[in-house]
Amino acid sequence: MSIFYKELLIVDKNNKTARKIQFEKGINIITSKKNSIGKTSLSLMLLYSFGAKVKFSDKWNLNDIFTKLTIEHDNNDIIIIRYKDTYTIKTSNESFFYPIQKYGYSDKLYELLGLTIKIKDKNADTFSTAVPSLYLLPYFLAQTNSDSDRTIFEDLAMYSKSDLHDALYYHVGALDNHYSSIIQQLTKAKISLENLKSSKEKQYLEIQYLEEKLNENKNVKFLDEDYDLDSDIKEFKKYAEKNQEYYTLFKQKTEIKHKIKLLNKTLSDNEVYTIKLLNEEEIRCPVCKSDITDFISSALTIGMAESDVNSEISELKSELLIIERKIAQLKPKLDHQREILSKIETERKNTNITRAILVWNEELNNAKGNFAETQIQIESHEKLLKDLNSKIKAYTEKKNAADLRYRMSFSNLLEKTNIDKQGISIDSLNLYDSISLSGSEIPRVAISRFFALLESKNAESIVMPIIFDFPNLDMTEDNLIRCFSLMCKKIKDVNKYPQSFVFSIDCLERIQSSQEEIPFAHIIDLEKLTIDDEEHPKLLCKKDFLDNSKEINEMLS
């Protein structure tokens, strides 16, 4: 499976400038005598137009930039038009528009290209399609002055180091399309196994509880017939009526007692009055002086009052007596009724318990069934986990093999680029691990690692064009020649590297001095292209904008 970049059109719609460049299969050399003419920008544009988030110099205002990348895959052209984060994918018969990358662009592109790397999402157990940067990562060597040159891809910061490693294992064929699904299955299986185990525990407790309950009530006599509810209700009603009657009588009793109390108070109040009368004290009507006739009147008044009150009291007392007798008669009846009720309640309670026993037995059977079911499920899950783990183990073995290949290749290449291996513990290195180095060693190590990684690939590996922005740092002539020699030897093998891009100043001269030959290379000398301002050369020019105006208008619309 190979992908080729065929053509790249870059448009600055604000400045009305553009650049259209065609590429060839095999080796493409992009060179110039001068620096700052746009080689690095062009290399980054190849990444950007594919969908990577890369860091450009401040000269570029990406808000005005449209790119149109034409790639060839299985003899079919696919066009990707990017403006900011919007993408249009065009094939010979279809066109898709994506207003934002993460909503479908990657999925569609990879579907068309047959790429399927799935990477675990950060902070979640889900997997999703990898961003374009992850596909481009191993195939791009930046003009780096630090050891970790992947920082050029800004959007990779969201992945953990181990996930990035996994992405590289995909590239070298140690992992495949099934890996992510197996990992997902494994995660799922682990979670459901845990759930099953905890529900098994709960079911066990439930069984224990139910068995305990049944044991507690094992001596309960079974009542298989229900009591006559209506007759019971009648008894309850009877009790309520009697109770009501009882308390009504009680209330009446209290009221009568209160009345008697009131009347007795009148009598005692009158006693004071009588004493005043007897002492011939001055009192208001109806008593006057101590004439016996008036006194008789007064005494009669009191006598009347007293006799009225007394007769009322005796009436009330007789009423009270009747009520008390009624209460006394009612009390045993009420007690009897209460006894009946408590008997009914006890019987009802027993019925409830026997009903509960039936339910508990049923629940116990269910619980035991569930327990067995859970046990079976746990066993099948454990088997699944075992299978998945063995698959993972196979992957791990493949990864170890890839690491081994990588280490061997890396160690070999370090020698070729003249790096002193002392102090570098190569044995512990995994794919693309960075090594802390400094100064002029950095680009040489980077090149070694770059090709070591590519060397680790096998038949199933993903193959993308390699983009080689040659480091422009102060290497000794000898080391520079070593690096170029290494590079040329590698990229000449077009079976292994079907398309490669080398961006370098004085590239042809350097190849020559490394005593290597690159026949059939497609050479793009940027200085020979039309440039608007020779003094301040820029990658884009007005001429290309005008020459491709039709295509650009189509693209912009």
308 binds another protein (CB under 8 A): yes
Stretch that binds another protein, among 19-27, 144-152, 296-304, 509-517 (CB under 8 A): 296-304
272 binds another protein (CB under 8 A): yes
Q: Is 172 helix (H, G, I), strand (E, B) or coil?
A: coil
300 binds another protein (CB under 8 A): yes
| Shortest CB 281 distance to another protein, Å | 12
| Shortest CB 275 distance to another protein, Å | 9
Q: In one letter, which amino acid is 149?
A: D
- Choosing from 124, 157, 292, 459, the residue that interacts with another protein (CB under 8 A) is 292
Q: Which helix (H) or strand (E) holds 503?
A: strand 499-505
Stretch that binds another protein, among 50-58, 126-134, 308-316, 401-409 (CB under 8 A): 308-316
- Choosing from 100, 158, 220, 262, the residue that interacts with another protein (CB under 8 A) is 262
| Shortest CB 310 distance to another protein, Å | 6
Interactions with another protein, residue window 156-175 (CB under 8 A) = none
Shorter beta-carbon distance to another protein: residue 151 or 307: 307
Q: In one letter, which amino acid is 215?
A: N
Shorter beta-carbon distance to another protein: residue 272 or 328: 272
Q: How would DSSP label each residue in 224-267?
A: -S---HHHHHHHHHHHHHHHHHHHHHHHHHHHHHHHHHHHHHHH
Written as six digits, the tokens of 348 are: 């009802």
309 binds another protein (CB under 8 A): yes
| Shortest CB 330 distance to another protein, Å | 22
- Choosing from 156, 167, 175, 277, the residue that interacts with another protein (CB under 8 A) is 277
Interacting residues of 532 by C-beta distance below 8 A, sequence separation 6+: 17, 538, 541, 542, 543
How far, in Å, CA of 129 to CA of 113, rounded? 13
Left (φ > 0), alpha (ψ -120 to 50) or beta: where does 305 sit? alpha
How far, in Å, CA of 277 to CA of 271, rounded? 10
253 binds another protein (CB under 8 A): no
Q: Is 51 helix (H, G, I), strand (E, B) or coil?
A: coil
| Shortest CB 258 distance to another protein, Å | 9
- Choosing from 62, 207, 214, 302, the residue that interacts with another protein (CB under 8 A) is 302
| Bridge partners for 539 per DSSP | none
Written as six digits, the tokens of 456 are: 């680790």
- Choosing from 184, 199, 274, 430, the residue that interacts with another protein (CB under 8 A) is 274
Shorter beta-carbon distance to another protein: residue 35 or 279: 279
Shorter beta-carbon distance to another protein: residue 220 or 296: 296
Stretch that binds another protein, among 97-105, 119-127, 173-181, 269-277 (CB under 8 A): 269-277
- Choosing from 304, 321, 322, 359, the residue that interacts with another protein (CB under 8 A) is 304
- Choosing from 191, 233, 296, 546, the residue that interacts with another protein (CB under 8 A) is 296
299 binds another protein (CB under 8 A): yes
How far, in Å, CA of 1 to CA of 113, rounded? 9
Stretch that binds another protein, among 194-202, 214-222, 305-313, 535-543 (CB under 8 A): 305-313
311 binds another protein (CB under 8 A): yes
47 binds another protein (CB under 8 A): no
How far, in Å, CA of 321 to CA of 2, rounded? 117
Shorter beta-carbon distance to another protein: residue 113 or 302: 302
Written as six digits, the tokens of 398 are: 């493949």
| Shortest CB 318 distance to another protein, Å | 13
Shorter beta-carbon distance to another protein: residue 208 or 264: 264
- Cα Rg of the chain (Å, integer): 51
Shorter beta-carbon distance to another protein: residue 147 or 306: 306
CA-angle at 170, arms to 414 and 160, nearest 5°: 85
459 binds another protein (CB under 8 A): no
Maximal C-alpha separation, the chain: 166
- Choosing from 244, 310, 318, 361, the residue that interacts with another protein (CB under 8 A) is 310
Name the strands in the sheet holding 95-98, side by side, starting at the edge strand that comes first in the sequence: 17-22, 3-12, 65-73, 76-83, 86-90, 95-98
Q: Tokens 């983009």 map to which residue? A: 467
| Bridge partners for 72 per DSSP | 4, 77
Instruction: Tell me the backbone φ, ψ of residue 412, rounded to 5 degrees.
Output: -65, -45
| Shortest CB 284 distance to another protein, Å | 8
How far, in Å, CA of 295 to CA of 303, rounded? 12
Interacting residues of 505 by C-beta distance below 8 A, sequence separation 6+: 31, 32, 33, 34, 35, 39, 470, 472
- Choosing from 25, 202, 257, 259, the residue that interacts with another protein (CB under 8 A) is 259
Shorter beta-carbon distance to another protein: residue 199 or 301: 301
306 binds another protein (CB under 8 A): yes
316 binds another protein (CB under 8 A): yes
CA-angle at 507, arms to 505 and 509, nearest 5°: 115
With CA atoms as reference, report the closest residue to 528 among 67, 41, 33, 44.
33
Residues 44 and 56: beta-carbon distance below 8 Å: yes
**Cis-peptide into 286, omega within 30 deg:** yes
Stretch that binds another protein, among 17-25, 66-74, 276-284, 328-336 (CB under 8 A): 276-284
322 binds another protein (CB under 8 A): no
Q: Is 306 helix (H, G, I), strand (E, B) or coil?
A: helix
124 binds another protein (CB under 8 A): no
Shorter beta-carbon distance to another protein: residue 236 or 273: 273
How far, in Å, CA of 148 to CA of 442, rounded? 10
| Shortest CB 229 distance to another protein, Å | 40
Residues forming the site for another protein (CB under 8 A): 259-260, 262-263, 265-266, 269-270, 272-274, 277-279, 285, 292-293, 295-297, 299-312, 315-316
